[in-house]
Amino acid sequence: MARFHSVIPAGGIGSRLWPLSRANAPKFLHDLTGSGHTLLQDTWDRLRPLAGEGRIMVVTGEAHSEAVLEQLPQLRESQLVLEPSPKDSTAAIALAAAVLMIREPDVIIGSFAADHVITSNTAFAAAVREAVAVAATNRIVTIGIEPTEPSVGFGYIKIGSELEVDHAPSARGVDRFVEKPKIEIAKQYVASGEYLWNAGMFIAPAALLLEILAESEPDLHSQILALAKAIVDGSGDVAMPKIWPTLKKIAIDYSVAEPAAEAGRVAVVPASFGWHDVGDFAAIAELQSAGHKGGLSVLGEANVVSDSSSGILVSETNRLIALIGLEDVIVVDTQDALLITTKAHAQQVKNMVDKLKSTGHGDVL
Amino acid sequence: MARFHSVIPAGGIGSRLWPLSRANAPKFLHDLTGSGHTLLQDTWDRLRPLAGEGRIMVVTGEAHSEAVLEQLPQLRESQLVLEPSPKDSTAAIALAAAVLMIREPDVIIGSFAADHVITSNTAFAAAVREAVAVAATNRIVTIGIEPTEPSVGFGYIKIGSELEVDHAPSARGVDRFVEKPKIEIAKQYVASGEYLWNAGMFIAPAALLLEILAESEPDLHSQILALAKAIVDGSGDVAMPKIWPTLKKIAIDYSVAEPAAEAGRVAVVPASFGWHDVGDFAAIAELQSAGHKGGLSVLGEANVVSDSSSGILVSETNRLIALIGLEDVIVVDTQDALLITTKAHAQQVKNMVDKLKSTGHGDVL
């Protein structure tokens, strides 16, 4: 574990969580579980015991730097990488990997999204420890979540053969990664016991991750390395505005995970802790741990009077909200925008956001 | 028609229309039809051609005097009677009748609530003209609405024998008034063709109305007369605070209409114009004439983006409101309170208001 260093890519707006989550206040900056901490803070608290507070790097948009530093006051300048614009996960994670590798060539990084919910920090830590042990055998390692239902909202990992790695008794090879399936396929996956949810967690030697990137995306790789050198040299302010805008947008799943899986270089540690990417308000309603009022989950300091309504209410205003006879409703009350829908339509919030974008309502997005 | 003088009792909060309608902004001060005018203004405009703008008296709460004068700038001081507190319809209408009778002993008054919706002003005027002709034969006259459905929300009038009154070919006697019935009874009423909706409109010589009140409620009658004399003498400011608080609260249906009906002194002019007391948001949704967005009625300057939702949306804020996949929803968005329910629960808004009253939320009522 001495080689281990955490990376938290804190990006993505979370359009399905509009109007709570927005361009200037994305998902990871919100408390979506009623824990009293934001998703970013919960991620930090989960990683801190693993490598120590000084060995966590956050990669986020320049626009969020102030909010991130406010939520994580213990974060030092050298632990924060700021993106001038969103360039998808490869740029974010590879840049962190490259900076860390230059500082410490045999570093093993673990990348964990800032906006996921994990219910057991102990089980998570155990899985990460196994994953680090496997990564030390020069593999890309992911943590796969044992599915509790045939979700069509997540990608899956087909489990491969058993591995024999010390301190990693549950580690397995990975046959392949598969995209979000249709429901019939998802049911087959779950029934077979051979598939895990892909939670987007990657643990690997930074050098290996960059080596695979060099093969799959050589231009991106060399740009990232140049950027990382500049950052370590203290000239990041000059290099960033020049190089960053030219980077290719590509998810790390395509640039690293899948090519590595095809090359037989990916392992998985199956884990059964509660995990969710909190993709929409229906998921929040289920995850909500506090503030239940009858069948109604309440997030925020909402002043609610409900008459036998069920669903979820999120309020950022101090208005009185009266609900009568609503079933599985979703209400999100903010200063300048109000969303009302139902749990069954939670996924369609993204379409609504697209509609707002195209009809000149960008000011509330 | 030279004897005719209109009275508009403008009272009643309209609890079922909370949070739009409130103690300090009751139903009649709102535009509930999308006509661009408030219900009070529409009532005024409907009565103006009948007796002239100088022969309309408004009786309302002291708290609403400013708002009423703002909405009806042409109203002179002598046309406005201000109630220090709500004392039900007998006090309001009888006081107006007494003031007008003192000024003009043979006046025929017509009392029309400030918060009803009538779709044809021409048909309304024709009915009032007939009613005035019948009232001139010294009768209490009401206008009964031919029912279009077996409503349980209105009282009914049992039609009596034909009358022979010049200029009032459709006038009939009234057998009796009946309270809001259960649905089975309402169906029988409508099927029989012998019942009309009681729209609470009364046309009668002021002297006759007060004569019947003197028999049924002698104390109230003498208090009202004393008050009216004081008002006409210019000492209303002194008499009102002394006498008004002691007045009995009683609806004019019980103090005048029913006793008069038992004595065979009530007539009815059946009418078939569209009429509604706009008792709840479900009624508003049906009455809404403008602002339809698909199946969604929109009242106010709402900034709405809807994805196949139906129902009614009332907005007093400039927030963006996004609705997705809601059926027959009612959304009322005001600065300090938000109501969300469904058309099927529209009547339960009153219970919610009672609940808010008893739980210390009086500030938003």
The ranges of chain B annotated as CATH 3.90.550.10 are 4-276
Residue pLDDT, tens place only, B98-145: 999 999 999 999 999 999 999 899 999 999 999 999 999 999 999 999
pLDDT at B291: 52
Best CA proximity match to A329, nearest among A317, A312, A346, A314: A312
- Using a CB–CB cutoff of 8 Å, tell me whether A15 touches chain B: no
Q: Do residues A205 and A143 touch, judged by C-beta distance below 8 A?
A: no
Asked if residue A292 has pLDDT above 80, the reply is: no
CATH fold group of domain B4-276: Spore Coat Polysaccharide Biosynthesis Protein SpsA; Chain A (3.90.550)
pLDDT at B211: 98
- Using a CB–CB cutoff of 8 Å, tell me whether B339 touches chain A: yes
The one-letter code for the residue type at B314 is V
As a whole number of Å, the end-to-end CA separation of chain B is 41
Q: Three-class SS string for B272-318?
A: CCCEECCCCHHHHHHHCCCCEECCEEEECCCEEEEECCCEEEEECCC
Best CA proximity match to A234, nearest among A65, A78, A92: A78
Alpha carbons A179 and B342: distance in angstroms, whole number:
39
Region class of B307: left (phi > 0), else alpha (psi between -120 and 50), else beta: beta
Number of cross-chain residue pairs from A and B with Cβ atoms under 8 Å apart: 108
pTM, 2 dp: 0.86
Q: Do residues A114 and A40 touch, judged by C-beta distance below 8 A?
A: yes
Taking an 8 Å cut-off on Cβ atoms, the answer to whether A348 and B19 are in contact is no
pLDDT at A308: 81
- Using a CB–CB cutoff of 8 Å, tell me whether B242 touches chain A: no
Asked if residue A246 has pLDDT above 90, the reply is: yes
Does A292 or A346 have the greater pLDDT score?
A346
For residue A359, the chain B residues in CB contact (below 8 A) are 305
Asked if residue A330 has pLDDT above 80, the reply is: yes
Q: Which residues contact A53 (CB under 8 A, 6 or more apart)?
A: A74
- Using a CB–CB cutoff of 8 Å, tell me whether A226 touches chain B: no
Residue pLDDT, tens place only, B198-236: 999 999 999 999 999 999 999 999 999 999 999 999 999
Alpha carbons B227 and B59: distance in angstroms, whole number:
14
How many other CB atoms are found less than 10 A from the CB of residue A358? 9
Asked if residue B284 has pLDDT above 70, the reply is: yes
- Using a CB–CB cutoff of 8 Å, tell me whether B340 touches chain A: yes
Distance of CA A41 to the CA centre of its chain: 13
Q: Do residues B132 and B110 touch, judged by C-beta distance below 8 A?
A: yes
Say whether the peptide bond before residue B19 is cis (omega within 30 degrees of 0): yes
Asked if residue B290 has pLDDT above 70, the reply is: no
Distance of CA B106 to the CA centre of its chain: 25
Beta strands in A114-255, from DSSP E residues, in sequence order: 117-118, 140-145, 155-162, 172-178, 195-205
For residue B307, the chain A residues in CB contact (below 8 A) are 345, 348, 351-352, 355
Residue pLDDT, tens place only, B308-326: 889 999 999 989 999 999 9
Identify the residue among A338, A349, A353, A356 best suited for mutation to test binding to B, counting B beta carbons within 10 A and taking the highest: A338
Chain A residue closest in CA terms to B361: A320
Taking an 8 Å cut-off on Cβ atoms, the answer to whether B324 and A348 are in contact is yes
Q: Which residues contact B143 (CB under 8 A, 6 or more apart)?
A: B127, B128, B131, B199, B201, B203, B268, B269, B270, B271
Taking an 8 Å cut-off on Cβ atoms, the answer to whether A359 and B320 are in contact is no
Residue pLDDT, tens place only, A135-187: 999 999 999 999 999 999 899 999 999 999 999 999 999 999 999 999 999 99
Q: How many residues does chain B have?
A: 365
Q: Any idea which residue has 């169906």 for tokens?
A: B187
Asked if residue A115 has pLDDT above 60, the reply is: yes
Closest CB to A321 among B319, B335, B338 = B338
Alpha carbons B276 and A33: distance in angstroms, whole number:
47
- Using a CB–CB cutoff of 8 Å, tell me whether B180 touches chain A: no
Asked if residue A85 has pLDDT above 80, the reply is: yes
Query: Residue B332: helix, strand or coil by DSSP?
Result: strand
Alpha carbons A112 and A177: distance in angstroms, whole number:
18
For residue B344, the chain A residues in CB contact (below 8 A) are 325
